[in-house]
Chains A and B, each alone.
Chain A
Amino acid sequence: MQRRQFVKMLTASLVVMQTPAFASTLKNNKKPSKIVWIIQRGGMDSLHTLVPTFDPDYSRLRPKLSRSINDKLLMLDQGFGLHPALTHMHQLYKQKQLLPIVAVGSGYGRRSHFDGQDYLESGLTTMDHDNGWLGRAVDIKQKDAIAIANSLPISLRNSKASTWYPSNLKDADADIYESLLGLYQDDELLRSRLEQGLKVQVMAGTSTNKRNGKFVSLARSCAKLLASDNGTDCAMLEIGGWDTHNNQIGRLDRQLQELDQGLAALRTGLGDYWQNTVVIVATEFGRTAKENGTGGTDHGTGSAMFLAGGAVKGGQVLGQWPGLADAQLFQQRDLMPTTGVFSWLATVLAQHWQLTDKQLAEIFPDSKSYQQQLIV
């Protein structure tokens, strides 16, 4: 007997048991509210992604970078234009399912990737590496969550979230998993990890393209894990490669294509579930307003974030534009953040998962939600 059959039997009961609260929502035919959290690691250059065509300082600060995309931008409202690679996202915007927010910051004021990412993931002003904002939300709402990763990223720590990542190895014999469960009986950590691993492999199924660790393929698998009434309600994806210190034009073009295709894969894979899904895309910080000496940009502060999905009140650009004149920049160098990523996240949680102010205060103790309506 191979593992998948064995595990199917082993976990069939578990899966059924994990369908507590949806009975009521299912009655009125509404799909469960799902969240996909995508972190862009490396610091996405928002000024090259969501371009302020109206800002007189833009092309002065970035003569080379702006020239490469200026006449190909996909226009949104208020004079903002999307990078030409983001064709699918542009479609979503037109269908009112994409909501870009300009000039956001996590509140992290320095320029280290790793610290900045940890900060964004923990959601706390005093860093705790074992406690993530999404993990706290999932824990409070008793949701089932999964990270598409080999091990749990900080965002989902402090919850019972599991992990899944494609493997190019063949299954071992079922007996071995049974024996190992026995061997780990006094080892809480290994036993729970093995149980999680077994369960998730069943959900991911065999048809998943095993080897492929590319973002698009991960997004496809992610959608598959989410697309059921009684499955997982929350997933996290990671996409690296945004640290464009040099040759930014070509590199960002590829990066953005990957992101765009990943969102398309999520939408297709989620099918009917897309209608009640919010995808949140954010990065640890933005990059310098001015292009650097090697055709790229250095670490900065303010950036942009995106909400996408059928549940999103899209087709509008939110956030306040601070301007790019020297005096308007943060430390005369970076885009100034005018609203907080944590507050936007709190707003999504409040409106999409109905978290109360008290619960939100546990998730983001130093940020409050905004009044704007983000969810349909």
Chain B
Amino acid sequence: MAEETNAELAIIAVNRFGLGARSGELKQAKVDPQQWLIKQLQAIKFSTDLPSSQQVFEIMAEYRKNKSKAKQQFTEKMQTADMQNIEMSDPANTSNNKGKSKKDKNTKLNPLKSTYRTLTTDTFKQAMLSENSLSFRLLDFFSNHFSVSAQGNFMVPLAGTLEREAINDNLLGRFEDMLLAVSKHPAMLVYLNNEKSVGPTSRASKKNRGLNENLAREILELHTLGVNGGYQQADVIELAKGITGWSVAIPKRDKRSGFLYRAHGHEPGRRNLLGVKYSQQGVKQGEAMLRDLARHPNTSKHICTKLVRHFISDSPSPQLVDALQARWQATNGNIKEVMITLINHQQSWLPEQQKFKTPREFVLSVLRALGVKKIKEKQLFFVLQSLGQMPMQAGSPAGYSDEQQDWNGGSALMSRIEWVARVAKSYRANAEKIMQQTLALPTSNRTYKSVIRAESREAALTLLLMSPEFLRR
């Protein structure tokens, strides 16, 4: 690290650890790049005005009620009124919608989709404007580690709540607390079908219902030990039984919402996971199993390797992983402490750019560089969809790939060019100035020369944002 100047380290700090520099950040980072990053490890404050997972269930219940009511009204109307006078449209429309615009109807009628969009746009906007973009990188990392997909009626509005609740609340604390919060969160329970999983010899099993291994398997394979973490099929079953009864309240029936432990669905008896016996009763049994999994050395190895891959390089340096793992073990999995070790380690600051940005990182860094303050939902989803990384739509519990070769294909590069060319048209920004405040390239650099010599402001900006230096971090 000694050979690089603070100016050079500051460029690495804003791009490799952060989401790209906003105006002025490079200057601030220069004073002490490591400290500048460590100070960013602060809890993210999300607005409490937006729907929580508990409210989602209420919205959902209300939506269903209105939908069936509207359907009923529609049918009645069809029977009594003159058929020709009725607008032939979605029966779910309420009766007095004549003259209202189509858009108006849609937002009113589909609160599920609008909840998904509102939540994920809000998270994105905060990341775009944040002075602590490192914390948002960390949030994105764990949100993808515990990936849930917005597919199906329930998951569409729920998906966006997991990162804002279970993950963010534990982002700078102990991993085991995060694991527990996530595993009890309605979004995860519904996504991996645990809410209906019941023990084969439990009281609830009689009604044609039984065990579902899905969540237990992914906890072992993806969330904790890792696929080669030394567990067997029998362990999957034992963990699945240990968390039977971990369910989600149905507001109408249970008169409450959120996580609900259903004792009659819990498999009775002792469990044996990885050779350890668990004789606890009720919800405590699964909790004890999860805490032990979180503390297992293979879990720290798995997650520290993933952290290094995410922040630094697709080929994680073993010394760096070891250093993180040692800190993890010493602090009982304190994520903030592990991050500080990452920031302070020499191997994190290799001068060569190590990774091609993911679409989300790329879009955020472009908008931050341009100093964009507002972005419309529609524009945001258009670009994220075009570039292949819609929020909460990885479609697999393994999340989006964190390896650059999954993002740098020819087709993906073409889409980036098309989008950047469009952005360059709409923001007449000064490319030279932006180049100085994000990459501070030397005048001998090829990108520097191309940007300076470009034939138009628009072309200059496109070249800068599509330059090898801006595409990577």
Contact = CB atoms under 8 A, between A and B. Distances in A.
A9 interface: no
B410 A293 contact: no
A167 interface: yes
A292 interface: yes
Interface string B406-439: 1111111111011111100000000000000000
B405 A246 contact: no
A342 interface: no
A26 interface: no
A169 B386 contact: yes
Given A180-B466, A183-B447, A240-B395, A294 B210 contact: yes
Contacts of B407: 150-151
B421 A173 contact: yes
A179 B454 contact: yes
Contact of B227 (A114, A152, A179): A114
A338 B133 CA distance: 53
A293 B412 contact: no
Nearest to B211: A293
A62 interface: no
Contact of B197 (A177, A183, A198, A294): A294
A184 B468 contact: yes
Interface stretch (A45-53, A83-91, A189-197): A189-197
B217 A152 contact: no
A55 interface: no
Given A169-B386, A183-B446, A193 B413 contact: yes
A114 B410 contact: no
Interface in A238-269: 240-241, 245-246
Contacts, number: 166
A171 B418 CA distance: 6
Contact of B388 (A150, A183, A193, A194): A150
A69 B386 CA distance: 38
A168 B217 contact: no
Given A183-B446, A183-B447, A168 B227 contact: no
A190 B413 contact: yes
A190 B454 CA distance: 20
Given A179-B459, A246-B196, A298-B213, A151 B396 contact: no
Identify which of B192, B227, B447 gathers the most chain A CB atoms within 10 Å of its CB.
B227
Identify which of B196, B386, B413 gathers the most chain A CB atoms within 10 Å of its CB.
B413
B337 interface: no
Interface string B172-201: 000000000000000000001100111010
A375 to B, nearest CB: 31
A172 interface: yes
B462 A168 contact: no
Contact of B408 (A151, A170, A173, A292): A151
Given A115-B227, A167-B418, A150 B409 contact: yes
B55 interface: no
Contact of B205 (A182, A293, A333): A293
Identify which of B398, B409, B411 gathers the most chain A CB atoms within 10 Å of its CB.
B411
B417 A293 contact: no
Given A172-B462, A176-B462, A293 B415 contact: no
Interface residues of A, number: 60
B418 A170 contact: yes
Contacts of A114: 221, 227, 396, 398
Interface stretch (A157-165, A306-314, A358-366): A157-165
Nearest to B421: A172
Contact of A193 (B213, B395, B410): B410
B35 interface: no
Contacts of B209: 293-294
A133 B408 CA distance: 21
A59 interface: no
Contacts of A164: 410-411
Given A112-B221, A112-B227, A184-B468, A179 B450 contact: yes
A61 interface: no
Nearest to B222: A114
Contacts of A130: 405
Given A113-B398, A167-B414, A172-B418, A245 B212 contact: yes
A294 B417 contact: no
Contacts of A201: 414
Contact of B412 (A150, A177, A189): A150
A186 B421 contact: no
A121 to B, nearest CB: 13
A149 interface: yes
A189 B408 contact: yes
Contacts of A197: 409-411, 413-414
A163 B466 CA distance: 19
Interface string B204-224: 010011111110010001000
A187 interface: yes
Contacts of B213: 245, 292, 298-299
B44 interface: no
B46 interface: no
Nearest to A171: B418
B281 interface: no
9 contacts: A115-B227, A151-B411, A168-B382, A170-B422, A194-B413, A197-B413, A241-B395, A293-B200, A293-B211
Given A111-B236, A163-B410, A165-B409, 17 more contacts: A111-B217, A112-B217, A112-B227, A149-B411, A163-B409, A168-B382, A177-B417, A179-B450, A183-B446, A183-B447, A185-B446, A190-B471, A194-B410, A194-B417, A198-B410, A294-B193, A296-B193
Interface of A: 41-42, 64, 110-115, 130, 147, 149-152, 157, 162-165, 167-173, 175-177, 179-180, 182-187, 189-190, 193-198, 200-201, 240-241, 245-246, 292-294, 296, 298-299, 331, 333
The 9 nearest A-B residue pairs measured at CB: A293-B210, A151-B409, A197-B410, A172-B421, A196-B410, A169-B418, A197-B414, A163-B409, A165-B411
